[in-house]
Amino acid sequence: LLLLLALLFWSPPGLALVGRLVRPLSGGTVAVEGLSGFFPNRLHATTVIVSDAKSPWLKIENVSLDWSALAARRKHIRVADVTAARIVLFRRPVPAEASGGTIPRIDVSRFSVARIDIAAPVIGHAVSLNAHGALHYVSLHQVRADFAVSRLGNGDAYRSEERRVGK
């Protein structure tokens, strides 16, 4: 049994199977292609597509995630590093019904996206950006974000270091 689990989670065919299982396990909202890496903490996917009841609204290309799966069991999403070559936001997602669950604590030590393409239906005109930074979220009143966003093709840039601590 242990050997079978090792083959499932730590071999290319096993990781391909795990990637194919994401769609049915997510109710069809997330599809993962080209899953590789060391399961479950250091993963890479060639493509991740997020859909709602209408159609796909988000695509992430060449994404790598270095995180703690064990911390997620304790409602703490702890990410050391997440990078993506490209994110495409086709449109705004159709609002989902509230789940009523609690939002976990989120700590992202480092994120970097080389290219973010936002389509015209999202903000009225198409734009391409890149971004990098960090995020630490406990609640809406306890947030720390440090990030930089640049518009590709011109010199527009935005840097934010926000800290919210309060009730």
Q: How far apart are CA 63 and CA 113, in angstroms?
A: 9
Average pLDDT (41-63) is 95
Q: How far apart are CA 131 and CA 149, in angstroms?
A: 4
Phi, psi of 112 (to 5 degrees): -155, 130
Phi, psi of 11 (to 5 degrees): -125, 150
pLDDT digits (tens, 9 = 90+) for 53-84: 899 999 999 999 999 988 988 889 999 999 99
The pLDDT value given to residue 83: 98
Beta strand 42-51 with 30-33: parallel, antiparallel or unpaired? antiparallel
What pTM value is reported for the model?
A: 0.87
pLDDT digits (tens, 9 = 90+) for 112-141: 999 999 999 999 999 999 999 999 998 878
pLDDT for residue 166 is more than 70: no
Q: Is 21 helix (H, G, I), strand (E, B) or coil?
A: helix
The pLDDT value given to residue 167: 53
Q: How far apart are CA 68 and CA 80, in angstroms?
A: 8
pLDDT for residue 94 is more than 80: yes
Average pLDDT (139-166) is 84
Of the candidates 96, 140, 133, 137, the one whose C-alpha atom is nearest the C-alpha of residue 116 is: 133
> What SS3 string covers 59-125?
EEEEEEEEEEHHHHCCCEEEEEEEEEEEEEECCCCCCCCCCCCCCCEEEEEEEEEEEEEECHHHHCC
pLDDT for residue 8 is more than 70: no
- Answer for the pair 37, 64: CB distance below 8 angstroms, yes or no: yes
